[in-house]
Chain A
Amino acid sequence: MLTRVELPSGDGIRVDGWAETGTEVSTAYDPMLAKVIATGGTREEALDRLGDALAATRADGIEVNLGLLRAAIRIPEFRAATHTTGTLAGVGDPEPRITVVRSGMMTTVQDADGRVGYWQVGVPPSGAMDDRSLRLANLALGNDENAAGLECTATGPSLLVSHDTLVCVAGAPAAVTVDGAPVPMWAPVLVPAGATLHVGDATAGLRTYVAFAGGLDVPHYLGSAATFTLGRFGGHGGRALRPGDVLRTFPTSTAAAGPVPEDRRPRFGQHWELGVTEGPHAAPEFFTRADIEQLYATRYGVHFNSARTGVRLIGPKPAWARRDGGEAGLHPSNIHDTPYSVGALDFTGDTPILLGPDGPSLGGFVCPVTVVSGERWKLGQLRPGDTVSFVPVRAGSAPRRSTVPATGGDGDDGVLRRLDGGDGPAVTYRRQGDDNVLVEYGDQVLDLALRARVHALHTALAGLAEPGVLDLTPGIRSLQVHVDPGVLPVPRLLGLLAELEATLPRTADLVVPSRTVRLPLSWDDPATREAIERYMAGVRDDAPWCPWNIEFIRRINGLGSVDDVYRTVFDAEYLVLGLGDVYLGAPVATPLDPRHRLVTTKYNPARTWTAENSVGIGGAYLCVYGMEGPGGYQFVGRTTQVWRTHPAPGEDPWLLRFFDRIRWYPVTPEELLDLRADLAAGRTSIDAADGSFSLAEHERFLAENAASIAAFRATQAAAFAAERRAWEEAGEFTRAEQAAAVEPAPPAEVAVPDGGARLDAPFVANVWKVEVAVGDVVEEGQTLVALEAMKMETYLTAPAAGVVTDVRATPGTQVAPGDCLVVLGPRA
């Protein structure tokens, strides 16, 4: 994919091309992207113009021949017109380049600050997961601390440089070499022209960073160079590096500053203490006080299934203050969807996950504590098998990027302030780390009046354009205000919010701009059937929602037939309450008429694959998946794109807005594919008509239909209760505990023959594939075992040539660091 195309224009310049930013270039066809044509009165003038035009031409994301072209038209023989068909034979690209020889396990281009300001539409910040190490490496080189560099995960890359290149490697300790000779980390190192920089395996921590003098020159997407691999944008080609990729740096004339002082370098061990603040959803409302005490007393283990989206922890199950999530779900961890903070400890059911920089912006689970901004870099270094403990700190004492905040916590249960509301709903101001305030209205219920109130506050606050406000992100009944506390301290923000609250119109008077958006829905689409089949084959086939989600929706809502489900979905008008659930402009919406609100539970465990733009129902919400990935909502069909990474100039990538009202119209799967293609090609956009939403009118509608709505709810509640009883009898609620109870066997002693070698697991992982058997003769570097950890496959290779004498790894089992996987004997 071309992530940036810039073509020249001007006097005497003509460009015949087809490629543009966002074009996918297929290897199926001729690789020509464009012809740059320069015209002048003389040959000299034409060539000079062509030189200027080519200097102004850029194409990023894939390798192109621009360097060669720029060199070709400067060849003296060509300028003198004494050239021949052989003139170009020895000419290459003379411009400085860094070629990826080996890419490492997952190496991405990242900057330190990430992509801030798009949280409300579900674009995560991304950026270096350990931003502190990348900042220090940049500063050592004299770079801006936000300059783009490389983040290496567990295993680093080999990089061949064409010109002298100054680098600084920082972060997780690893063996770093230049043409095989060891070089120091945390200090500027000159990699001479033609030499190869190699970053080895992280021996503690998880992520090593490589900064380059001048910084990496990659296109900014939504203001940042950071790669968001799930969204396939940012960095180099919107993906992790691959062998053969070519990187370039910005030219620089700044002198390197010198090594990072010893006392500023982070220390890397196997145990990590994370400074956290209380809130947003702590005790006694959601957790018991004993739960929170236990949380601070526990050493959690880092689960192998951790990634940039989040670090999964292993620890005790909370007792929970509530029996269930009320309207929001059967589990006491469930709440109505709320904006999350990076660094929050998110309890998805009983499983704690520390949300990372590629994590979701919205979700329906409680977070009792939040890692403060100055400590979030540690998330990037949590290695599977490491341990973590949480240290309560006071928010006000946690300057950004510091490591020594005052301990003890704020002792306020994460609640900054409560207002009784007077005419309007009650307001709760909750703490989310030291840099977010979560404003919640009313009770834990789905009430459009509360959402309208959120919208009113959002609009008023956005209108103030207060310096220091970074993001405003609405949830179902809450608004998250993300600030730079150095510019806008939280106490001042609280004052501002309370003042604004008093100026908001009465909820009943709210009238909000609201478009009617007609979207196609391919009911029971083959892509959703495929996802269910994959789930049944790979995760579980005995779930209550298998083999057909629509039938499950019918049953749990007490409807007579699946046709009733169809009618309900197509009759409904869905009001968009949030965007980016999950990611990239994906709407979370709810039917305006409560009689259209089909309730369901989410998949448990979640699906590992969902087709892009599948439409699902979870709780009382409808969601369109913004991108391919995991998921938990019950499918009803599939629609068109709600996000375009490279929209037409002047348009936003996201297509929906808050308070849009979605109406579905039925299409066949084939028609949907055509509509999707047209939208992707920019031949059509979505069908939206302007209008407004009046809360007073809506309340009138509810009052007029109160009896019928109550009857519908009663039927639905009875069916839901029946389903719940059936689940209890079938052990559905205790599944997770049973699965977790299986303990791995203690490792046995392993004898290695003289002259042999052993291959050990580098971290906690799942064995995915074993590619050799006893007796096989293997070469050094040959793949022996594939592991699955951090949502990635890792291929482990033979440390030396030899004969396989023992295979200890079994596919499907979990291994710990140092566990022997394969034993090699010397070759006969």
Chain B
Amino acid sequence: MPELIRTVLIANRGEIACRIIRTARQLGLRTVAVFSEIDRAAAHVRLADEAVLLGPAASYLDAEAVLRAAKESGADAVHPGYGFLAEDAGFAELVEGAGLAFAGPAPGHLRTFGDKHTARVVAVAAGVPVFPGTGLLADADHAVAEVEAIGYPVMLKATGGGGGIGMTVCRTPQELRAAYDRVTGLALRSFGSAGVFAERYVERARHVEVQLFGDGRGGVVTLGDRDCSLQRRNQKVVEEAPAPALPARVRELLHRTSRDLAAAIRYRSAGTVEFVYDAEREEFSFLEVNARLQVEHPVTEQVTGTDLVAWMLRLAGGDDSFLAPYLAAGEVPVTGHAVEARVYAEDPPPASAPAPAC
């Protein structure tokens, strides 16, 4: 571990905070946890060398409070985990502006990929395959006219969306008109932006994604791929690496175009390019880039023998020597197979609401 960072603040909670603390300690770093009032007794608070109270439940989203905790605890790096502030370009800027290392992508990357529409523009420019889609749709009439060229069914999406919120399948012009107002309204309320667009919808789709890691100077390696098709209500439930039943030609193309995309913007740290895969046509289409560590990253670690959190922390400390063995080939070799199941505190049918605290 280079001398540049000694103390890392983990701006997260739950399993990912515990997981990051584990690796940080292996690297000999001092760890600082942050916690909300209701997390006083949480596991990550106990595991860290030091813990700082942020405030009420929502304060993991309070960029100023997290940065204050980082400064007061003497941290010289921040790992954001996933969720909360992980993809908040403003937070990454604050951290870097304060002279601390942000163990994640550069703020500009977060901004580019934080908007699905600009992400798609960058992806197309880099040669990543996309199913036919529209630009931003001004109104319902415009939507119907644009979709004529693509053909039904289409998926209507919010440009600022995430987690499947506001995504609606439309099979006829009538359905598209009906969905337009609803999705724009939902998008405005949920993401503060009413922008929507449509793209071809694959009835029998698989969700396939490519893990990559960039040095921030144009060097990028892929670490194989994953299949995350088993989902409930657009939430991943079971993930595996590598993605099964993927023709070699398709896999090679997925990896190469993902690398090209990341290299084109000199991507830094861990990231994932997500695709919709049409197994019948053996075609895939760019979905989005998740500019962060992902929940399902362990399956990739298991089949590549890497520790992605260690890579993120080492890069934040100015060390990218771990990439050297792989840069020529552009990829980390994959052996074996790994599957992950997410245990959720929620009741599947008949009642599906999250289990309440008690």
By a beta-carbon cutoff of 8 Å, the part of chain A in contact with chain B is 1, 14, 16-20, 23-43, 45-47, 50, 54, 57, 59, 61-69, 72-73, 78, 81-89, 91-93, 99, 237-239, 242, 244, 246, 677, 680-683
Contacts and interface: CB of A to CB of B under 8 A. Distances in A.
Contacts of B83: 30
Identify whether the interface residues of A are mostly helix, strand, loop, or mixed. loop
A29 B84 CA distance: 10
Given A18-B42, A677-B40, A50 B15 contact: no
Given A43-B240, A84-B229, A64 B355 contact: yes
B245 interface: yes
Contacts of B205: 84-86
Interface string B304-316: 0000000000000
Nearest to B345: A31
Contacts of B41: 23-24, 677, 680-682
21 contacts: A17-B18, A23-B43, A25-B357, A27-B355, A30-B83, A31-B344, A31-B354, A32-B295, A35-B298, A35-B342, A37-B298, A37-B299, A39-B336, A40-B338, A46-B337, A59-B343, A63-B346, A64-B346, A67-B348, A68-B348, A78-B238
A81 B244 contact: yes
Contact of A32 (B45, B204, B343, B347): B343
Contacts of A72: 230, 237-238, 341
Contact of B347 (A42, A61, A89, A244): A244
A62 B339 CA distance: 25
Given A239-B358, A680-B41, A681-B40, A63 B336 contact: no
9 closest A-B pairs by CB: A92-B349, A63-B347, A81-B244, A62-B355, A677-B40, A81-B245, A28-B57, A68-B348, A31-B345
Contacts of A33: 15, 343-345
Interface of B: 13-19, 36, 38-46, 51, 57-58, 83, 203-207, 229-232, 237-238, 240, 244-245, 279, 295-296, 298-299, 302-303, 336-351, 353-358
A17 B206 contact: no
Contacts of A38: 338-340
A81 B242 CA distance: 12
A17 B349 CA distance: 24
A14 B302 contact: yes
Given A25-B345, A85-B206, A41 B336 contact: yes
Contact of B346 (A17, A31, A73, A242): A31
Contact of B15 (A26, A34, A84, A87): A34
Given A18-B43, A61-B358, A83-B230, A40 B336 contact: yes
A92 B237 CA distance: 13
Given A32-B14, A35-B295, A85-B207, 10 more contacts: A18-B43, A26-B57, A33-B345, A35-B341, A37-B298, A54-B341, A69-B237, A81-B245, A92-B349, A237-B358
A32 B342 contact: yes
Most chain A beta-carbon contacts within 10 A, residue among B337, B343, B357, B358: B343
A87 B299 contact: no
A88 B343 contact: no
A68 B13 CA distance: 25
Contacts of B45: 681, 683
B343 A87 contact: no
A26 B358 CA distance: 8
A78 B238 CA distance: 10
Nearest to A79: B244
Nearest to B43: A18
A1 B83 CA distance: 24
- Which of B39, B230, B231, B349 has the largest number of chain A CB atoms within 10 A? B230
B206 A46 contact: no
Contact of B38 (A14, A26, A62, A683): A26
A93 B357 contact: no
Given A18-B42, A31-B345, A39 B355 contact: no
B15 A18 contact: yes
B334 to A, nearest CB: 12
Given A17-B18, A28-B38, A46 B348 contact: no
A88 B344 CA distance: 15
B46, B57, B207, B355 interface centre (most CB from chain A within 10 Å): B355
Contacts of B15: 16-18, 32-35
Contact of B230 (A82, A87, A242, A683): A87
A613 to B, nearest CB: 15
A46 B358 contact: no
Contacts of B245: 81-82
Contacts of B39: 26
B25 to A, nearest CB: 15
A24 B46 CA distance: 15
Nearest to A44: B337
A70 to B, nearest CB: 9
A41 B231 CA distance: 25
